[in-house]
């Protein structure tokens, strides 16, 4: 059985291969018993190994003594999400090009395409800007992902969450694709938005049948 450290490294590599992150940008984490594992700070993702993953307490403490590496500078919002939402076991944060491009507008992505439901609602919310690594950013993200599985971070990037790392990765990848579609559509004209009723129908279908269905 693959270990949590191996799984975290695999997803980090997938983020690079998919072009969702580059260099030392972005980070990801997964719950592991009473703590969580997170990618380290300041290290090129292509150079990571399983032993570099940092264990972090779900209390107010940062890294634990077992690691000589420091956790990502964004560890605080990973901890906040995992503490507040017990159904979430993984967090993926990207600086992907199209989602990050939309984030600088500081606006939600509306229901221009039915696959917006991947993020759990009728929009992908954009959390207000706050300095990285701060409690203010954590608080903003917690509000933006309420009843959602993804959100933009204003002037920053994207956060996606899931029951495991694979789900969080898939959602991040889909939101990046949707962000690109939205940008391309805006070049042509103003996208037609689906109604609340139409999106409710989509969400109900996703909950029952789709590959993004809730457990």
Identify whether 84 is part of a domain: yes
Identify whether 39 is part of a domain: yes
Identify whether 31 is part of a domain: yes
- Does position 213 have pLDDT exceeding 60, yes or no? no
Whole-number pLDDT of residue 62: 57
Identify whether 215 is part of a domain: no
> How many domains are contained in the chain?
1
DSSP the chain: ---HHHHHHHHHHHHHHTTS--TT--EEEEEETTEEEEPBSSS-GGG--GGGPEEEESSS--B-TT-SSPB-TTHHHHHHHHHH-TT--EEEEE--HHHHHHHTTT--B-SSSGGGGGGTSSSB-EEPP--TTSHHHHHHHHHHTTT-SEEEETTTEEEEEESSHHHHHHHHHHHHHHHHHHHHHHHHSPPPPPPHHHHHHHHHHHHHTSTT---
- Does position 214 have pLDDT exceeding 60, yes or no? no
- Does position 102 have pLDDT exceeding 90, yes or no? yes
pTM: 0.93
Supply the CATH number for residue 83's domain: 3.40.225.10
Provide the domain limits for residue 33: 4-208
pLDDT-derived band at 207, boundaries 50, 70, 90: confident
Identify whether 26 is part of a domain: yes
Identify whether 202 is part of a domain: yes
Identify whether 214 is part of a domain: no
Q: Render pLDDT for 121-150 as a digit per residue (tens, 0 to 9).
A: 999 999 999 999 999 999 999 999 999 999
Query: Looking at 74, 167, 173, 176, which residue is catalytic?
Result: 74
Query: Is 174 a residue of the active site?
Result: no
Q: What is the mean pLDDT of residues 185-192?
A: 97
Identify whether 213 is part of a domain: no
């Amino acid at each position: 059985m693959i270990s949590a450290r191996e799984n975290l490294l695999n997803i980090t590599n997938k983020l690079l291969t998919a072009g969702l992150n580059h260099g030392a940008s972005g980070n990801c984490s997964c719950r592991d018993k009473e703590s969580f594992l997170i990618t380290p700070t300041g290290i090129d993702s292509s150079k990571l190994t399983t032993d570099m993953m940092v264990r972090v307490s779900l209390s107010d403490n940062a890294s634990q003594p077992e690691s000589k590496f420091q956790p990502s500078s964004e560890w605080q919002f990973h901890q906040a999400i995992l503490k507040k939402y017990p159904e979430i076991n993984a967090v993926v944060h990207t600086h992907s090009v199209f989602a990050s491009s939309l984030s600088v507008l500081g606006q939600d992505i509306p229901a221009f395409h039915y696959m917006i439901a991947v993020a759990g609602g009728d929009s992908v919310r954009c959390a207000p800007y706050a300095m990285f690594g701060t409690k203010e950013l954590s608080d903003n993200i917690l509000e933006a992902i309420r009843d959602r599985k993804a959100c933009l971070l204003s002037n920053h990037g994207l956060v996606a969450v899931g029951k495991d790392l694979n789900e969080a990765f898939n959602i991040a990848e889909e939101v990046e694709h949707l962000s690109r579609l939205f940008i391309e559509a805006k070049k042509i004209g103003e996208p037609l938005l689906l109604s609340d009723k139409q999106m409710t129908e989509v969400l109900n279908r996703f909950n029952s049948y789709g590959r993004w269905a809730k457990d």
